[in-house]
Amino acid sequence: MIRRLARELPRLIALSLAALIVLAPFAYMVAFSVKSSSEIFSGSLSLLPAGLDGFGNYARVLAERPILRYLLNGAIVCAGILLFQLIFAIPCAYALAKLRFRGREFVLGVVLFGLLIPIQATSLPIYVGLAYTRLIDTYAALIVPFASSVFAVFMFRQFFRTIPNDLIDSARLDGCDEFSVITRIVLPLTMPAATAFGIFSVVSHWNDLFWPLIAIRSPELNTPPIGLLAFRSAEAGDRYGELMAGTAIITAPLVLAFLFAQRRFIEGISLGALKG
């Protein structure tokens, strides 16, 4: 046992060193979020604060900047996007996987084509269209462009294909119409796939900068990343303690959620590799 452990020791040391490097930014973010300005500007390396003054950073940041508003906006936008994505994609994916109808191959073709197109390709015309319909700078501008997700269709279709046809046929024989087949048989089986997709969707839109930077101007609509950027430029680099506190607050929700459901997060986010 001891010999085995001795043999494994180099591997554990290597992993631990790598872990320290990966964690360093998080550790310093938290450490400096509770340091006073004077301590930070004296060039400190310690992970522990010299005094208790810095703990006020969190209170000051929450009082001066609408951080909670940013978080709320992030939640509204992510929930809106996910809700629409599921409502649109699940029926479509079910039809593509389990129903035979003329034009199915065509719809499938459009979906596969959509998988190839990154958001950056369509962002200019979508921006112009939203500007002309005066929808720019609203929650709708943040949500609607992502409502019909080909990736969700693709993923749910793959999943529905694994549900045996016999199960669906016997439900139909029992007198279920297509609607109850979906709500009673298919949806309950879909929960794990929907969770994985939901995590993927929420994480990517919570963290997204490109589209919100384009779609909104009003500070009240700031999503967490944009709010953080606004905060950073407003402080022009002299209140690093507060800045780190704000950063920690913005980072916390996803990181905590991840720590609670690590396996599901890893499953969900690595799904994105299919999309690229």
In angstroms, the CA 166 to CA 164 distance is 5
Among residues 126, 196, 188, 193, the alpha carbon closest in space to that of 156 is found at 193
Q: Should residue 59 be labelled a site residue for another protein when binding is judged by CB under 8 A? A: no
Rg (CA), the chain: 24
Query: Are 206 and 132 within 8 A, CB to CB?
Result: no
In angstroms, the CA 60 to CA 64 distance is 6
Minimal distance, residue 185 CB to another protein, in Å: 15
Long-range contacts, stretch 36-40, CB < 8 angstroms, 24+ apart? 36/241, 37/238, 37/239, 37/240, 37/241, 40/240, 40/241
Minimal distance, residue 122 CB to another protein, in Å: 4
What backbone phi and psi angles, to 5 degrees, belong to 154? -55, -45
**Which position among 159, 160, 197, 265 is part of the footprint of another protein (CB under 8 A)?**
265
What backbone phi and psi angles, to 5 degrees, belong to 259? -65, -30
- # residues contacting another protein (CB under 8 A): 93
Q: Where are the alpha helices (DSSP H) in the chain?
A: 2-33, 37-41, 56-64, 67-98, 104-116, 119-132, 139-143, 150-160, 165-173, 178-180, 187-207, 210-215, 224-235, 240-260, 262-270, 272-275
Minimal distance, residue 216 CB to another protein, in Å: 12
**Which position among 72, 110, 167, 234 is part of the footprint of another protein (CB under 8 A)?**
110
Per-residue binding string, another protein, 115-154, x by CB under 8 A, is -xxx-xxxxxxxxxx-x------------xx-xx-x--x-
Q: Should residue 34 be labelled a site residue for another protein when binding is judged by CB under 8 A? A: no
Q: Should residue 100 be labelled a site residue for another protein when binding is judged by CB under 8 A? A: yes
Looking at residues 240 to 259 of the shown chain, list those that interact with another protein (rule: CB under 8 A). 240, 243-244, 247, 250-251, 254-255, 258-259
Minimal distance, residue 207 CB to another protein, in Å: 5
Q: Give whichever of 125 and 188 is closer to another protein, judged by the CB atom.
A: 125
Q: Should residue 45 be labelled a site residue for another protein when binding is judged by CB under 8 A? A: yes
- Using CB atoms within 10 Å of the CB of residue 189, give its burial: 0 to 12 exposed, 13 to 18 middle, 19+ buried: middle
Q: Which stretch binds another protein (CB under 8 A): 52-60, 75-83, 85-93, 183-191?
A: 85-93
Q: Should residue 17 be labelled a site residue for another protein when binding is judged by CB under 8 A? A: no
Minimal distance, residue 45 CB to another protein, in Å: 5
Looking at residues 206 to 225 of the shown chain, list those that interact with another protein (rule: CB under 8 A). 206-207, 209-210, 213-214, 224-225
Minimal distance, residue 127 CB to another protein, in Å: 7
Looking at residues 163 to 192 of the shown chain, list those that interact with another protein (rule: CB under 8 A). 178
**Which position among 2, 3, 48, 102 is part of the footprint of another protein (CB under 8 A)?**
102
Residue 4: what residue type? R
Minimal distance, residue 52 CB to another protein, in Å: 21
